[in-house]
A and B are shown apart, each in its own frame.
Chain A
Amino acid sequence: MAMLEVRNLNVYFGVIQAIKDISFDVNQGEVVALIGANGAGKTTTLHTVTGLLSAESGTISLDGKDITKTPAHKIVSMGMAHVPEGRRVFASLSVYDNLKMGAYTRKDKKEIQSSLEMVFSAFPRLEERRNQIAGTLSGGEQQMLAMGRALMSKPRILLMDEPSMGLSPLYVNEIFAIIEKIQSEGTTVLLVEQNAKKALSIADRAYVLETGRIIMEGKASDLLEDERVRKAYLGA
């Protein structure tokens, strides 16, 4: 049984079908990438998985438990955190308060403190700026904050939506190095990216999404070599 199982998922925006009967698995310990062009349905998929959008039909299960109808605010305490597209940090709160929000559902103060130290050691820049208002951080720092905030819930599976969007190449490398580190520490990752090359280089497996359908799936290393993928997404 996979950790996260999505089966025959259909999602509509009014009359428009954004997600067409997609199924995928994320196994414990993997980094799985969902790649595809703008508007392919990647973000919609993640939003449906974490309950921000509701599915028309299909099932989503986490550790074998059906979460298709679970409201979004109950998902994080089940061990699944979501770093949304565009970071969406709480701009008027401080870096520290943003991180504390990530641990909103946790009670044990000591454990929260140790998570905070873990996040600060992964992102030293956040510690330097812990009292700064989040809206004044640079894009890359905000991405780190959004990731740190999600890690504060101590997730077993982390969903990341376009973490490299709008960042300088230097930051992109840093963010991807951190994703690999997160995986090496035992957290499962579902990664949505337009930067297919980067995503495939760190993922174990990947699914290619096109206009709401999964058109290809396989080992990331195979997809990197695949002619169609190279043409359509890697610009080669």
Chain B
Amino acid sequence: MKFLSQLISGVSLGSIYSLIALGYTMVYGIAKMLNFAHGDVIMVGAFVVYTACVAGGLSPFFGVLIAVVCCTLLGVVIERLAYKPLRSAASLAVLITAIGVSYFLQNMALLIFGSDTKQFSSVVSLPSVTLADGSLTISGETIVTIVLSLIIMVCLYLFINRSKPGKAMLAVSEDKGAAQLMGINVNAMIALTFAIGSALAAIAGALLCSSYPALSPYTGAMPGIKAFVAAVFGGIGSIPGAMVGGVLLGVIENLSKGYISSQLSDAIVFAVLILVLLIKPTGIMGKKINEKV
């Protein structure tokens, strides 16, 4: 039962990584940049929920809704102000800018909320479920996280592969020039990608802090890095890869915590990444289309 319980909470943690990793991988796919400020958008989302629910007294549902709206706007504004002017700049310049944005967000949060850790109150009111005569307890947060992430991923998958703007995003990520010749506004598609990724980050922030209720300006940093690892693990640029990579990473992390050592779990996660990259540099679902010329 211990294994099952570890596995389920691993899937739950992993679903959060997946939601964050989707933002990384979609932005990488379309703008060919690593948005290292993405993790901090999670933190901003969690702070918005915290402010709206604790200070504003709103219900968790509206708190999360406001966080989604705020983070969507934040993502679009970051892209417009920080990254769009660098569209044709060297990728190193963009990377450094992203790190700068990350510090900017952290320090803004530090300025507004201070450095002390806040007690985040869970946005989930579902009671925990006890199965197998009391030997397996699954928390409401775990259930909501897994179910909600699953719904989001299915919706996102359908949006990308079935809808016209979704397919246009795929077209842009493949060939910007050819996409422009089709009449697709590449800048609008990049903005849309940032909007979607940041909205997912807000939800991830709320779910993450519901399961792990300590909120500080640095809350987003480590999950952000791990989600980036998940995206690379799954194959950066691949949407199914980010989903699978995130869940696997969460499971590996939790099982290491449960069976090996909780101190070493992060080291194990990164070791697995190194192994995967050594064996399959494109990640487990990395795209490699055989294109005839």
Contact = CB atoms under 8 A, between A and B. Distances in A.
A17 interface: no
A81 B183 CA distance: 9
A90 B186 contact: no
B112 interface: no
Interface in B192-247: none
Interface in B50-77: none
A136 interface: yes
Interface in B177-197: 177-186
Interface stretch (A92-100, A175-183, A186-194, A221-229): A92-100
A50 B177 CA distance: 10
Contacts, number: 85
A213 interface: no
B174 A73 contact: no
A86 B184 CA distance: 20
Nearest to B181: A82
Given A97-B167, A101-B168, A72 B292 contact: no
Interface residues of B, number: 23
Given A104-B184, A135-B290, A84 B170 contact: no
Contact of B181 (A50, A91, A133): A50
Given A97-B167, A101-B167, A104-B164, A76 B292 contact: no
Interface in B269-293: 287, 289-293
B178 A88 contact: yes
Contacts of B153: none
A163 B289 CA distance: 23
A84 B178 contact: yes
6 contacts: A73-B184, A76-B182, A88-B178, A92-B174, A100-B164, A153-B182
Interface of A: 50-52, 71-77, 81-82, 84, 86, 88-93, 97, 100-102, 104-105, 133, 135-139, 142, 149-150, 153, 166
Interface of B: 164, 167-168, 170-171, 174-175, 177-186, 287, 289-293
Q: Which 7 A-B pairs have the closest CB atoms?
A: A105-B183, A72-B180, A88-B178, A76-B183, A135-B291, A135-B289, A104-B182
